[in-house]
A and B are shown apart, each in its own frame.
Chain A
């Protein structure tokens, strides 16, 4: 997407840029597929293909989609765990996509990540205190005493006793480890926290504890969240605005109320209708059962990537990729039905 089309498509951005913290423009991440003795590149997995969205300061942006839709890759590319193939990642007015590791370092403090698996994302050989102090050491901040004090304060903020700083990760339960992961993300006072399925490995009763903590911390520290998840009820609970991805592309972006009450994209409609009912006597709205499975991202369908499963697909959809357009203020949809 060029700058002009973006400006045309996102007037709300153009009008008021001051409250945008992160803007992603035409982000692409292709992974090469190699084969043969010489490991020649024979194709690409288009994990993220031309994704654009923005996140305002202090809001929670939810990114939903099914497995393989590229939501995690998007998060990881923003934080530069992966090098973007193309596109801009404008954070606080600065495009991060072209920066070298050294130039990037100051921004590393501002964007932090919480991972899905609380069992593999903490180093088992370090104590919790060491894990939480590491960011200070990397960035050369504070004296020893101050570091200790800050770590204890952080543990307290996420609801763990400060004495636990000398314990090792295996001594904690999954929910507690996830709190440690959140505390680690908070150490450097970041502006943006990317949560990649932060609660999906947790039991229901623990999940609600962690969601509540994330909510409290957001208010206390004025945090902005990019919340990546597949659980639509959880995403609705925590997000202000939501983006729906399918096979590497953004299908629909809007605020949460509109998304759940008036979804426009056929994929979003099917996705929402697939959610199990929340009460047994609830009369189920018409369920749209999608045929088949998500196609492989190494060989995505031509045209609209969803046309192979779309109940309303037209001939046009097989040829032309629909652009993400703003149909109503703040409501973006990539579908030919609305042309």
Chain B
């Protein structure tokens, strides 16, 4: 499989009066054509800002991508001008956001919002765009697509809005779809509908997907590979089955153990002590050192590197040097 997106040493920092917050601090990963890569992490891990950096949508003022490369289909997106980015965004890379309630414009009809994308990027006439919009809405499961076109977002439920968002994102056949917590705000039966839909669409359109989530169940359903983020860095990169069978990094292990599972009964869950550190207060050495039960002296002062431990599996931990993490 050829590589579609390559993120190298991405650093997006936030600046306030007298502080620099390294929210994304040296992130490397790649996405191959047609694969679904999940980015897993808790709040403050930098997973959403990573995706916004790819889209060139880092919140301003305050946020800035200060270093790194984002090579998409041979072009470094960070070198593009704002006008050039307009042609990429929504066209080659599309995004679905978490909040279906707030990510649609409440004063425009569904039809106006979907056709806008097609008219801008695909230079369609209004009539063609409308036809295409009906087609798209049918693909995402609206039986009465023509009627939905003239409805306003408030008339739709959360699940329906998320379908509209997906239709809009797929409208220009993007090469890469970034889904930021696409089902977090939805009920479990609706979540199941949306997950099935995303599976179908990724096969049909052959798009690559970056799936950002904190829900390991969603990861198990959709992803091919996973990167686990903690404190603005990638701590583990691995195939999906390997992550669930044998996580390498102590944080990944803790995370998997924290989730109650349906098929087992435990009195106590294993948990990671302490709290997620905030970016203005990252530990000096390994970011996970304050919560790690294997922490050594070295971890307090030095940052471990993300290294390949097995073919295709990387982890950022000193334990692997000791050979003691098995």
Measured between alpha carbons, how far is A278 from B243 in the docked complex, in Å? 12
Q: Can you spell out 13 A-B residue pairs with CB atoms less than 8 angstroms apart?
A: A175-B275, A204-B214, A208-B269, A209-B272, A230-B188, A233-B217, A233-B259, A237-B266, A274-B188, A278-B261, A287-B192, A294-B157, A294-B187
Q: In the complex the two chains form, is B217's CB within 8 Å of A208's CB?
A: no
Interface residues, chain A, CB within 8 Å of chain B?
A: 66-67, 173, 175-176, 203-209, 211-212, 215, 230, 232-234, 236-237, 260, 270-271, 273-282, 287, 289-290, 293-294
By a CB distance below 8 angstroms, the chain B residues around A236 are: 260, 262
Given pairs A278-B262, A280-B221, 17 additional interface contacts (CB within 8 A): A173-B276, A204-B255, A204-B258, A206-B276, A208-B260, A208-B270, A212-B271, A234-B260, A237-B269, A275-B217, A275-B262, A279-B220, A280-B240, A289-B189, A289-B196, A290-B193, A293-B159
Q: In the complex the two chains form, is A276's CB within 8 Å of B275's CB?
A: no
Measured between alpha carbons, how far is A271 from B262 in the docked complex, in Å? 13
Residue of B189, B190, B219, B267 ringed by the most chain A CB atoms within 10 A:
B189
Measured between alpha carbons, how far is A277 from B219 in the docked complex, in Å? 9
Given the known interface contacts A175-B275, A203-B42, A208-B271, the answer about A277 and B217 at a Cβ–Cβ threshold of 8 Å is yes
Given the known interface contacts A205-B255, A270-B189, A281-B241, the answer about A211 and B160 at a Cβ–Cβ threshold of 8 Å is no
* B312 lies within 8 A of chain A by Cβ: no
Closest to A204 in B: B258
Interface string of B212-224 (1 = CB under 8 A from A): 0011111111010
Q: In the complex the two chains form, is A276's CB within 8 Å of B218's CB?
A: yes
Given the known interface contacts A204-B214, A204-B258, A278-B220, the answer about A67 and B269 at a Cβ–Cβ threshold of 8 Å is no
Measured between alpha carbons, how far is A209 from B255 in the docked complex, in Å? 12
Closest to B197 in A: A289
Measured between alpha carbons, how far is A208 from B272 in the docked complex, in Å? 8
Closest 8 CB pairs of A and B: A276-B217, A237-B260, A274-B192, A208-B258, A66-B187, A208-B271, A203-B42, A208-B269
Q: In the complex the two chains form, is A280's CB within 8 Å of B191's CB?
A: no
Measured between alpha carbons, how far is A175 from B271 in the docked complex, in Å? 13
Q: In the complex the two chains form, is B218's CB within 8 Å of A232's CB?
A: no
Interface residues, chain B, CB within 8 Å of chain A?
A: 42-43, 157-160, 187-193, 195-196, 214-221, 223, 240-241, 244, 254-255, 257-263, 265-273, 275-276
Residue of A211, A260, A274 ringed by the most chain B CB atoms within 10 A:
A274
Measured between alpha carbons, how far is A67 from B220 in the docked complex, in Å? 24
Contact of B271 among A205, A237, A273, A293 (CB under 8 A): A205
**Chain B nearest CB, measured from A336 CB (Å):** 21
Residue of B215, B262, B266, B269 ringed by the most chain A CB atoms within 10 A:
B269
Measured between alpha carbons, how far is A104 from B270 in the docked complex, in Å? 40
Contact of B269 among A211, A260, A273 (CB under 8 A): A211
By a CB distance below 8 angstroms, the chain B residues around A211 are: 260, 269
**Chain B nearest CB, measured from A8 CB (Å):** 32
Q: In the complex the two chains form, is B276's CB within 8 Å of A205's CB?
A: yes
Measured between alpha carbons, how far is A176 from B276 in the docked complex, in Å? 11
Closest to A279 in B: B244
By a CB distance below 8 angstroms, the chain A residues around B159 are: 293
By a CB distance below 8 angstroms, the chain B residues around A274 are: 188-189, 191-192
Given the known interface contacts A67-B187, A293-B157, the answer about A280 and B262 at a Cβ–Cβ threshold of 8 Å is no
Measured between alpha carbons, how far is A211 from B271 in the docked complex, in Å? 10
Q: In the complex the two chains form, is A260's CB within 8 Å of B262's CB?
A: yes
Closest to B240 in A: A280
Q: In the complex the two chains form, is B259's CB within 8 Å of A215's CB?
A: no
Measured between alpha carbons, how far is A205 from B288 in the docked complex, in Å? 13
Contact of A277 among B193, B220, B272 (CB under 8 A): B220
Given the known interface contacts A271-B189, A280-B240, A289-B193, the answer about A232 and B269 at a Cβ–Cβ threshold of 8 Å is no
Measured between alpha carbons, how far is A236 from B270 in the docked complex, in Å? 16
